[in-house]
Amino acid sequence: MMSLPNSYTVKPSAIPAYFDALLDAQPPERFSTRFLENLGFGSTNDRLLIGILKDLGFLNTDGTPQQRYFDFLDRSRSRYVLADGIRQAYGDLFAVNVKANELGAEDVKNKLRTLYKGAKSDGVLDRIGATFVALCEYADFTAPPAATPGETGPAVEKPAVEATNAADSTKKPDTQNLERHIRSVTQAVALDSLQYHINIVLPDTRDQSVYDAIFRSLREHLGAPHG
């Protein structure tokens, strides 16, 4: 499936003003032309922004703000969030050049001409390319891509241990025993004031021995104290 947008603006120089206005306003229940007008953008050309926001994952198809929109409102992360939206919307372009955000308008147009395979006229390619460049200039690509669409901005790695599914049993697990295991594992990874939190995905089973094996392995590999 092609990961390239059909949207563009004929006012790429207005991109900073558009996104600055979003930061200054309360998110609407539905992003409409009326909402745009309330932001001070009453031209019919301004309405093209709605399509861009949909392609960037800010809005649903009906104009409802999505999680990326709300993440963008955090000013400390907003430009990272936009960068993730650009990477997703122009995925095929970044597949050709991982530093596509550093390309000039003419280079972007040449790449798009190949990727769209003649489906767009030169005039439309110019507008899409100019829109892409303007978006990239506003965004910040210095942070690595988010691991998932809902996790944007500079990522903080979280160690995770995931157990595989095991066969169900009629034996009910001992919850007190599980809590004791978890406390032991927590002690193993606490270093003075520095503490690592481990997310453990337990299998859907009632077999207590499965849980015992999981936490026994954790204690052995993480160096939990014995006794």
- Residue 1 domain flag: no
Convert the pLDDT of each residue in 11-63 to its tens digit. 999 999 999 999 999 999 999 999 999 999 999 999 999 999 999 999 999 99
Phi then psi dihedrals of residue 41, to 5 deg: -115, 90
- By residue count, the chain amounts to 227
Q: What is the DSSP string of 112-125?
A: HHHHHTT-S-HHHH
Residue 206 has pLDDT above 60, yes or no: yes
Residue 155: pLDDT band with limits 50, 70, 90: very low
Global pTM reads 0.64
Q: Calculate the CA 82 to chain-centre distance.
A: 9
The number of folded domains in the chain is: 2
Strand 199-201 relative to strand 190-191: parallel, antiparallel, unpaired? unpaired
Q: What is the pLDDT of residue 147?
A: 57
H/E element, 6? none
CB 46 within 8 A of CB 77: no
- Residue 30 domain flag: yes
Domain residues for the domain of 40 are 12-138
Convert the pLDDT of each residue in 66-114 to its tens digit. 999 999 999 999 999 999 999 999 999 999 999 999 999 999 999 999 9
Q: Please identify which residue in the block is written with the tokens 């590999």.
A: 221
Q: What is the DSSP letter of 147?
A: S
How far is the C-alpha of 75 from the C-alpha of 133, rounded, in Å? 21
- Residue 150 domain flag: no
**Stretch 155-166: mean pLDDT:** 42
Q: Domain check: are 80 and 167 in the same one?
A: no
Q: What is the pLDDT of residue 200?
A: 64
Four-CA torsion 75, 152, 129, 32, nearest 10 degrees: -70
Q: Domain check: are 90 and 34 in the same one?
A: yes
Q: Domain check: are 169 and 112 in the same one?
A: no
